[in-house]
Amino acid sequence: MHVRDLLKGNKPTFSFEFFPPRDAAAAETLRLSMRELVPLSPSFVSITYGAGGSTRQLTHDLVLRIHEKERLPVVPHLTCVGSTRQELGHALARYASAGITDIMALRGDPPAGSIDYLPPPDGFSHAADLVGFIRTEFPSSGIGVAAYPQGHHETPNRLREMDHLKAKVDAGADYICTQFFFDNHVFYDFCDRCEAVGIHVPIIAGIMPITSMATMRRMSELALGVNIPGKLQKAFGRMSERGSVARIGVHWATEQVRDLLDHHVAGIHLYTLNQSRATMQIIETLGVL
């Protein structure tokens, strides 16, 4: 079943995101996390690419393993960066032959050390181009695209940013999954702006619980433009124990999800960072899944 069909149900979807492990220790962490999270029967799981497509083969291998062993709907990320049209077509054909029916179509981040994105020869300049290619060459595929409720650092003009997003939807995207955010008003405003420009596909809200100060600093570096509310920063500033960071972060994320559910969000996408504890606590507290 496609994600677009799941989003037509009476209940919001709950999905998890993982990334391919780079070494044995990371692989063991992922294995243990999945052993706890998979039995929750999420609506689907997504698997990311590294910057510049650096984990392309690792992503493919992990997608197939989850699809075959866990029998879960899997949504692999596919990026324009570092791939020609022929290479992307080959990847899509392999997924299709394995029964993978959905793709998250992204432009992708430039390789480390690069500032600007330059498409490869016979490649795609924008995610909308990749969406159109998938819709034309693999018309039965389900397609998700990314969005940035607080804006993307490469497109400071927020009106033009919405034009880019609408171009992806008009090219054939079935749904939108947002980058994580920490203020639900930002998400609701984003939904209003989508409606204003004629975007009417389902929007899945991305949530990432902060579990350490290092994680918060890392997120601030990687997700440029994501604002951490002053109230949340003050809560971290009042803590007296190291373990309080995770408690505060998980509580904040749980309340975000609770409020989103009350506002009938189409779906919740939890960025797990390949860890299970925070996700488990959110799910158990809210009694979902």
Is 17 catalytic? The answer is: yes
DSSP strand E in 148-262: where? 175-180, 203-207
Greatest extent of the chain over all pairs of C-alpha atoms, in Å: 56
Nearest of 96, 104, 86 to residue 4 by alpha carbon: 104
As given in the structure block, the two tokens for residue 268 are: 């919740």
Q: How many residues does the chain have?
A: 289
Asked whether the beta carbons of 80 and 132 are under 8 A apart, the reply is no
The Cα–Cα gap between 226 and 187 comes to 12
Distance of CA 109 to the CA centre of its chain: 14
In order of 23, 58, 60, 67, 81, the CA distances from 54 in angstroms are: 14, 9, 12, 21, 10
Beta bridge partners, 147, equal 178
In order of 153, 163, 213, the CA distances from 157 in angstroms are: 9, 10, 31
92 C-beta neighbours (distance < 10 Å), count: 21
With 0-12 / 13-18 / 19 or more C-beta atoms within 10 angstroms meaning exposed / middle / buried, residue 160 is exposed
Asked whether the beta carbons of 253 and 211 are under 8 A apart, the reply is no
Q: Of the listed 17, 154, 161, 284, which one is catalytic?
A: 17
With 0-12 / 13-18 / 19 or more C-beta atoms within 10 angstroms meaning exposed / middle / buried, residue 188 is middle
Catalytic residues: 17
